[in-house]
Structure 1
């Protein structure tokens, strides 16, 4: 069964590599419009309600019963376990240096680091690095397409949504869930715990939304900017960043006026409450 899995992976890799050779390596320009905004806002509202009702309380409970050291060890384990996703995408992106770097991290942390619980690779000057199939598609030149918010998953795009099934194909957590059939679907527990660790880390950044006039716009643009940094290895060209900011087809002054009006209104409300 394991050999069949490896054969399927190799076949998928060869097919993807063929597409790469045909598509070239020109990175497609980002989209700064939002044609699916109506749908996205509804899903964003649903996700926000689900987060407040269930997901965040579970993540907060996880933080309460664990120490920072324990959470770091758990995060190390999951980062290492999912490293095959990065290595495969490094190969598909024809980035041999990155592939060797991440293979070295994976081998060292899987052995000396006790199955990834610790991170000796960073001390050996092999710092964390990750990528995914969405970045691979961008480097192949596939356009980003419209921004998209998925129920219970969160921000994505017409291009990035394709990474979900492809990356899961190379994800050991998915392999474990598919190869086991435990009572009460316990085979899904590692994947659920991984998602809880991600949400728990996000609690520290929640203050960024305080005072934001339109959290959805902040949420959308923050995702797009982060993806640009992923695609350009942390240094996107200035012209690409300008295009993402939409200075050509977005009324930035209007947005600033709305934000200032919102802050003024909030300030007036606070003053009235004090009186």
Structure 2
């Protein structure tokens, strides 16, 4: 099967599944809909163990062995590689001005920013406008669905889980490039994630290892932040007993 056919079939399948699920998952509006909590808690424990044994030690080693400037350069590159996906989703959402801005940013940082390792576009006010397929499904009217904690990837919901896989399938760097170049983006994402884990080490540790119920805390923070990103109304920003300060902004 061709590189182009795979994402097209994936998109058709996803839209079919999401369309069938829309009516049922509208139950989630305005609160927490977590019918798979037992399974989610097991996945959450797996993710915590993975963080404690692998991710946190590797991130600490990476952070201590690199400078702030070098981590920023790798972060710039990871964000740069995400721009084509942003443009695709900008167009799918009908946000053509955002698509033009992200395209201009990609061109400038590719040429002037040495393939995206530096960010001159931000210096001239051409900031990145993030977009993903989960957000696109929201714009198209699909409800968020049940809360889901994904292995390795962490908190999500059924709509955003679908969105993650479609974004991967539509990523030009994966669809167009051949082995081993197509894995450059994945490697850059991992480095960027380790840098974030190192930078927010204290906050993440307090959520995962010091809160009374790290699963409920993580779930609340994710749902509030995601709904805020999508511009949902105040009544949809559900607040449970574990969502108080200091983690709301994070």
Aligned equivalent of 2:189, options 186, 194, 200: 194
Alignment counterpart, residue 245 of structure 1, candidates 224, 236, 239: 239
Note the residue ranges of structure 2 that are not aligned, 5 or more in a row. 20-25, 245-250
- 5+ long unaligned stretches in structure 1: 23-27, 247-251, 260-275
Equivalent residue for 1:230? 229
Describe how 1:103-142 pairs up with structure 2 within 5 A.
103-142=103-142
The structural deviation recorded for 1:8 is 4.8
- How big is each residue's C-alpha offset from its partner over 1:67-114, in whole Å with a ceiling of 9 and x where there is no partner? 110111111011111111110001111111111111111111111111
Query: Is the radius of gyration larger for structure 1 or structure 2?
Result: 1
Please list, as runs of the form range in 1=range in 2, the aligned pairs for 1:9-48 lying within 5 A after superposition: 29=29, 31-48=31-48
Q: Return the offset for 1:60.
A: 1.5
Moved over 4 A (4+): 7-16
Q: Does 1:213 align with 2:212?
A: yes
Shift of 1:206: 3.6
Structure 1 pair 151/213, CA: closer, same or farther in 2 (3 Å)?
A: same
CA spacing shift, 1:122–1:136, aligned 2, 3 Å: same
Deviation at 1:132, TM superposition (A): 0.4
- Number of residue pairs matched? 229
Structure 2 length-normalised TM? 0.79
Residues 164-222 of structure 1, C-alpha deviations (whole Å, 9 max, x = no match): 2210123245347x7115xxxx9646513422321321333343326422111111111
Describe the SS at the equivalent of 1:125. Answer: coil
Secondary structure of 1:156's match? Answer: strand
Q: CA deviation at 1:239?
A: 2.7
What's the C-alpha RMSD, in Å, of the aligned pairs? 3.2
Q: TM-score, normalised by structure 1?
A: 0.72
**CA–CA separation in structure 2 for the residues paired with 1:13 and 1:190:** 20
Question: In 1, are the aligned partners of 2:132 and 2:163 still within 8 Å (CA)?
Answer: yes
Check the 8 A contact 1:82/1:173 in 2, yes or no.
Answer: no
Conserved in 2, the CA contact under 8 Å of 1:13 and 1:92? no
Distance of 2:11 and 2:39 partners within structure 1: 36
